[in-house]
Amino acid sequence: MANSTELSKWQLLPDDLLHEITNRLHKPSDYVRFGAVCKGWHSFAHKSYKQKHLLHVHQNSPLLLIPTEDQEGRNLYDITQGMVYHQFRLNLPKKRCCGSSYGWLFFVDNVTKSTLELILINPFLGDSKTINLPPIKLNKDDILDMMDNYGVYKAILSKDPYVFPHDYEVVALYGSFAKLAHHKYGDKYWSYAKKVEGTTLADVIFYKGLILSLDRYEWIINFTLEPKARVQSTNSSPWYLKWNTLKKLARTIRNYACNAYLVENSNGDLLLARRCYWGEDHIQAVETAQQLDAAIRQDIAEGGSGDALLEEYKKIEESMYRKDEIPKLTVNFEVYKLSFSSDGKRLSMKIRTKTLDGEILFLGDNNSISIPASRYPKLHPNSIYYTDDYVEYYDLPLGSCDNGIFHIEKESFDKHYLPSFSTKDMPPPIFVVPK
């Protein structure tokens, strides 16, 4: 029988080595024997078996992370089965998750007037799997009333930190204008891109060695990480972010989308999905309001009062922003296939498509995923499953409700999940892929 000294040595084995061992276990009896070695191994075996069982249940399809009824945690909802996995309750911050990659979730933490911090949590690897990132520096124009929830709109990983603990990068869209910041493992500070004049970024992706971003007017931007010629301060990163606009259009109401996403499909193709809450009536009203505004300014410039047009302008403006139009609901998606030059400095093709070639898109503020429909016969191929990205959900009488399915070929809508009214003050559901 092993003595206490020998047992204590087994307890000191690192988690990554224990993970390699449990990866080779197949039967429940194997886990029982493994967990009988010591208390530490017993706890690890329990978490590992639960994780492996969860992965087997949904075969790595995206799950919805939804608030629990008591608003104290999160559950996982399987849209393929229409059921909640109550046994996998996750104790996570009540704040909005601003990113999800490789099973890791991003949350904003420890906000001050000049900085905010991001933490990475992987609840599928155990409660201790947390990574604290350096603070992001804020400027005066970055300060928001809800900075702890909306200071970072999206954050993504280049690789899984659990698999590549010393070789991963993070990109975040932060602040009032969704500016871009980059962190490379081992650096003590973030690198910041200069503000792209006149634009607010909507999404960002790591794609074939590139950092690509876009705004809501179809501008596509390539950011490259460049070494600084010299570091002027000890409190700065050795890198700077250089940006190059690949596609630039005139900014009109007609080419504006309420949100836009970049997603790589399973064939390695890059897709651009544009989401709109505005129908044709709203677009025409905005254009008319713009024309009236210009006419009023012209009348005043010529010595008039502008009163003759002002009443008409006010009526149109009121119709555009009636309270009964809230919540904003998605009315359309447009999907395009993109391709770039070999150096990534030029957009060579942008074609609108009415099919996803049998794939399914999962879109939301925190994550963009594409999977083959052939692996999930219960889901709708050539469809977009989306979650609510309306940032002022806490002001809505019903909370988060803009979750649904958009069939690209038919241009029709279905529902996949209806949030409970009891959780209306909680952050909206998000798609995650446990790893």
Domain ranges, residue 151: 92-256
Identify the burial level of 79 via C-beta atoms within 10 angstroms of its C-beta, where 0-12 means exposed, 13-18 middle and 19 or more buried: buried
Please name the residue ranges forming H helices in 104-222: 147-150
Identify the burial level of 105 via C-beta atoms within 10 angstroms of its C-beta, where 0-12 means exposed, 13-18 middle and 19 or more buried: buried
Same domain as 233, residue 171: yes
Say what percent of the chain tops pLDDT 90: 26
* Alpha-carbon torsion angle 80, 83, 87, 91, nearest 10: 90
Same domain as 169, residue 224: yes
Same domain as 8, residue 147: no
In a domain, 126, yes or no: yes
Same domain as 125, residue 16: no
In a domain, 241, yes or no: yes
pLDDT bracket for residue 26 (50, 70, 90):
low
pLDDT tens sequence across 52-101: 655 444 446 788 998 888 888 888 898 888 888 877 788 888 888 889 99
Q: How many domains does the chain have?
A: 3
Of 320, 338, 372, the one marking the end of a domain is 320
- What's the confidence (pLDDT) of residue 1? 46
In a domain, 183, yes or no: yes
Same domain as 252, residue 287: no
The residues near 247 (Cβ < 8 Å, ≥ 6 apart) are 218, 219, 220, 347, 350
Same domain as 179, residue 34: no
pLDDT tens sequence across 227-281: 887 766 667 788 888 888 887 777 888 888 889 999 999 889 999 999 988 777 7
pLDDT tens sequence across 179-222: 899 999 999 999 998 877 667 899 999 998 889 999 988 888 89
Same domain as 134, residue 50: no
Can you list the pairs that 42-51 forms with residues at least 24 positions away whose Cβ atoms lie under 8 Å? 44/15, 44/18, 44/126, 47/125, 47/126, 48/18, 48/19, 48/22, 49/22, 50/88, 51/124, 51/125, 51/434
Closest CA to 96 of 124, 67, 76, 56: 67
Q: In whole angstroms, how large is the CA radius of gyration of the chain? A: 24
Same domain as 114, residue 52: no
User: Does the pLDDT at position 427 exceed 50?
Assistant: yes
Same domain as 239, residue 298: no
Phi, psi dihedrals of residue 49, rounded to the nearest 5°: -65, -40
CB 417 within 8 A of CB 64: yes
In a domain, 276, yes or no: no
Of 320, 341, 373, the one marking the end of a domain is 320
- DSSP string spanning 1-32? ---HHHHHHHHTS-HHHHHHHHTT--SHHHHH
- The lowest-confidence range among 133-142, 158-167, 208-217, 401-410 is 133-142
Same domain as 248, residue 103: yes
Phi, psi dihedrals of residue 62, rounded to the nearest 5°: -60, 140
- DSSP string spanning 70-109? TSSSEEEEETTTTEEEEEEEE---SSPP-EEETTEEEEEE
Cis peptide before 327 (omega within 30 of 0): yes
Running DSSP on this structure, what letter comes out for residue 424?
T
In a domain, 65, yes or no: no
In a domain, 370, yes or no: no
In a domain, 307, yes or no: yes
Same domain as 245, residue 101: yes
Same domain as 199, residue 132: yes
CB 373 within 8 A of CB 384: no
In a domain, 266, yes or no: no
Running DSSP on this structure, what letter comes out for residue 429?
P
pLDDT tens sequence across 326-342: 557 889 999 999 988 87
